Structure 1
Amino acid sequence: MKTKRAKNEADRGRGRPSDIEAGVLQDRLLDAAEQLFAERGFAATPVRRIAEAAGVNPALLHYYFGTKRDLLFAVMDRVLGPMAEAIATMQASGAAPVDDIVRLMTGMAAEHPALPKLVAREVLLSSGETREIFIRDYAPRLGGALPGLLAREQQAGRLSKDIAPGAAALMLLSLCFFPFIARSVSEPHMGVRYDADGIRDYAGQLQKVIAGGMKP
């Protein structure tokens, strides 16, 4: 009888990727899908085009992710899942400084700059299953959680009493994510930089705006 190790080695000998190789291939598929869904839209992006951009056989996409829609949710969950967990940690800790929220959101957008545009295209500007699932599974844990966090910051005296928490949450989301949606205009025509230093500078400027308008 073959051991598990021997079986795995035999499988790899027949062309099955190792666990490390599989992780790399999945990341390549997720990266390609994130970019193409943001640029072209979900409906206009064929599976074959995603596989081609990732440099893999289309069969691997189905093997790892199932359907194209499953791949779309895997793309979103890769980023939004950890972001929701970070917000949940803030909820449990009893403190959610606005600067930490800004760093969390701009950091996510800097690492995955196509995702804000993807969410805008497939959720905010569209209707259907993707929007419904996003509103059900992600919105309450992401933007929907921010008003409560900001209200608690108000009660602790770290946020101005004149600010409505819901409006403040919407402004934070807009200020953190819209620059990445508008990159095709803001980068060439407004001088906004999207390299690591540029994103850090933007986050710093945003924190100054918040300090002047939201903090007591």
Structure 2
Amino acid sequence: MKTNILPPSSLAQLLKRADDIAGLTLGQLAESLGVAVPKDFRRDKGWTGQLLELALGATAGSKPEQDFLHLGVELKSIPIDERGMPLETTYVCVAPLTNISGLRWEQSLVYHKLQRVLWIPVQGDRDLPPGVRRIGSPLLWEPSVEEDRLLRQDWEEIMELISLGKVSKITARHGEVLQLRPKAANSKVLTESIAEDGSIQMTNPRGFYLKTQFTKGLLERFFG
């Protein structure tokens, strides 16, 4: 793998880098960076995002902060079908399941991550090998007042259920635009959470995800 690309010094430089890779296949981008292309995504689910992070000079890695913290920008790749529609929900961040008393929306990692997002659509049809999937035009998005209201409403409802020890009763159907789902490689991975009697219990880690209807609306508005 080649030397890491330096972080972009400005928002304009970041957007130019994103524009420059639009139209390339993942294979072409990987070759230019000296990165091996997996045969499929069964064992390399996060490979596309990591490749884009490398190409654009992202700095966060797996740290719980925005990918371009100095610019206030989070990077999200989004797999789309031939009609340009998102194929899956979008992972935002791990959900806190303990020590959440007094936590407000504006202090949450979900709020922080979604203040400004650089979306990069990528062909995601299952029958396309990773190397031939093409990268789309970038979209820089900031939530509108209404979008922020919807996100906040879902986050507050979900966090209230977590605080009441009802994490096991939250399903992917909860929330209008944001949902909570198990986030672990397998069901044996456990973490602490609040039980209904206020004690600590063990459960699977959870993550916040944006529902496809929400990201579909974003793409339709910007790309028609």
TM-score computed with the length of structure 2 as normaliser = 0.32
The structure whose Rg is larger is 1
Structure with greater proportional helix content = 1
TM-score computed with the length of structure 1 as normaliser = 0.33
Structure with greater proportional strand content = 2
